């Protein structure tokens, strides 16, 4: 498949109540292993990629190295590849767009793009993040590819679950704004309250992505909540390394 065909195929995999399962990988070898067992698409996880290559998460890995890894993954598997691109390795919309152009040149068909201020505190304002998403959409359109912008909000990740109910209205407002700016999906990692997830999926116009964690522990469970995408985050890497350690101990 060419890149445009892969982009279209990836978008079509996002179906409400029948979510695409993304078992996040960290290099070409792990991508190949997952595809061999039937994966229809590949997604990296920034923490896993960084840790596997000796870096901390949070854009500590040099951008050129990230792009090199992405190119090798794309060259190794013939399925759509989406990249966890954190905050885009820049703040200004035009700089983010320029970096995404490099991601597209690497053959990638989509990104996770978060509203957390990487290296700072808190989240970008909705207005600021809208400008950044708009710039990404414009550069993707210029490249003539239906690039999948999975707009991630970090409202819930790392915050006290007791506060999550009070954050849902802001999440719904951000989803609407991000959708209007050209986002393709809405990612709500850290939210594990099924009632609150359902409230967001009912309100959202975009496919909603959740992270397997806490009380969210099965595909069937999220399917019933109207979710369109399920990610595993750092789990696969942690499990693989634990298995490696145990096997080495038994030698």
Q: Which domains does the chain have, with CATH numbers?
A: 3-249 (3.20.20.60)
φ and ψ at residue 183, rounded to 5 degrees: -65, 155
Spatial CB neighbours of 70, under 8 Å, sequence gap ≥ 6? 44, 81, 83, 103, 106, 107, 108
pLDDT score of 203: 98
Spatial separation of the C-alpha atoms in residues 245 and 250, rounded to whole Å: 9
pLDDT score of 251: 92
pLDDT tens digit at each of 251 positions of the chain: 899 999 999 999 999 999 999 999 999 999 999 999 999 999 999 999 999 999 999 999 999 999 999 999 999 999 999 999 999 999 999 999 999 999 999 999 999 999 999 999 999 999 999 999 999 999 999 999 999 999 999 999 989 999 999 999 999 999 999 999 999 999 999 999 999 999 999 999 999 999 998 888 888 888 899 999 999 999 999 999 999 999 999 99
pLDDT score of 214: 83
Spatial CB neighbours of 184, under 8 Å, sequence gap ≥ 6? 11, 110, 146, 147, 148, 149, 150, 151, 206, 207
Start-to-end CA distance of the chain, whole Å, equals 43
């Amino acid at each position: 498949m060419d890149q445009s065909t892969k982009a279209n195929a990836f978008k079509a995999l996002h179906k409400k109540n029948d979510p695409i399962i993304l078992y996040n990988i960290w290099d070409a070898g792990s991508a190949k292993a997952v595809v061999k067992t039937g994966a229809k698409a590949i997604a990296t996880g920034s923490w896993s990629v960084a840790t596997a290559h000796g870096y901390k998460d949070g854009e500590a890995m040099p951008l050129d190295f990230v792009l090199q890894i992405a190119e090798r993954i794309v060259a190794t598997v013939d399925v759509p590849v989406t990249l966890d691109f954190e905050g885009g390795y820049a703040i200004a919309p035009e700089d983010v767009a320029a970096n995404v152009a490099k991601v597209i040149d690497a053959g990638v068909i989509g990104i996770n793009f978060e509203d957390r201020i990487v290296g700072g505190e808190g989240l970008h304002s909705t207005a600021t993040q809208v400008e950044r998403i708009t710039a990404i959409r414009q550069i993707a359109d210029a490249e003539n590819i239906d690039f999948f912008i999975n707009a991630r909000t970090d409202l819930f990740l790392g915050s006290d679950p007791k506060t999550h109910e009070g954050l849902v209205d802001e999440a719904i407002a951000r989803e609407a704004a991000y959708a209007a700016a050209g986002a393709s999906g809405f990612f709500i990692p850290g939210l594990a309250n099924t009632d609150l997830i359902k409230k967001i999926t009912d309100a959202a116009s975009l496919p909603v992505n959740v992270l397997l964690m806490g009380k969210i522990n099965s595909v069937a469970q999220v399917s019933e909540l109207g979710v369109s995408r399920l990610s595993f985050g750092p789990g696969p890497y942690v499990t693989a390394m634990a298995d490696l350690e145990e096997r080495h101990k038994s030698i």
